[in-house]
Amino acid sequence: MLKLYVGCGLTHASEEFKANVEELKEKFANIPGIQLLKFLGLADGTAHDVYVHDIINCVHKCNIMVAICDEPSIGLGWEMAVQSSRGKPLLAFGHDKSKITRLILDPRLPNYQFFRYQTFEEIYEIVFTEIRTHFHIQGSF
């Protein structure tokens, strides 16, 4: 079973953004052969609980990570650094109207790709294609 983790900045995100991320994660969770690892979120647990769950139980165990970089987030940056240090695939996304730090745009790391997007459907299609190509998970959009 392929373990997929989707990370994003939540602290300053709009409710619409959060809803779009949840909808995207549900679509990934419904692909046969995929286990979606879910972050703890803003309301649950202590700061230490969030670290243990999100970094140790999700990032350290995922086969592929999707990072949605629209909102500034030190936590997401930490997750991305851990994932890239593991040498596992990391697909980063930034809305075409979002200001994204240059550090994320082109670090030229193995197993790292950055994409601009306009809709969350585009994120889904790109990630699904990467999963199907590199991990041989079957299914359809």
Residue 139 pLDDT: 57
- Global confidence as pTM: 0.93
Which residues of the chain fall below pLDDT 70? 42-43, 136-141
Strand order in the sheet with 112-117: 34-37, 2-8, 64-68, 90-95, 112-117
Domains in the chain, please, with CATH?
Answer: 2-135 (3.40.50.450)
Contact 68, 25 (CB under 8 A): no
Give the count of beta carbons closer than 10 Å to the beta carbon of residue 46.
Answer: 9
List, for residues 51-82, the tens digit of each pLDDT value: 999 999 999 999 999 999 999 999 999 999 99
Residue 141 pLDDT: 44
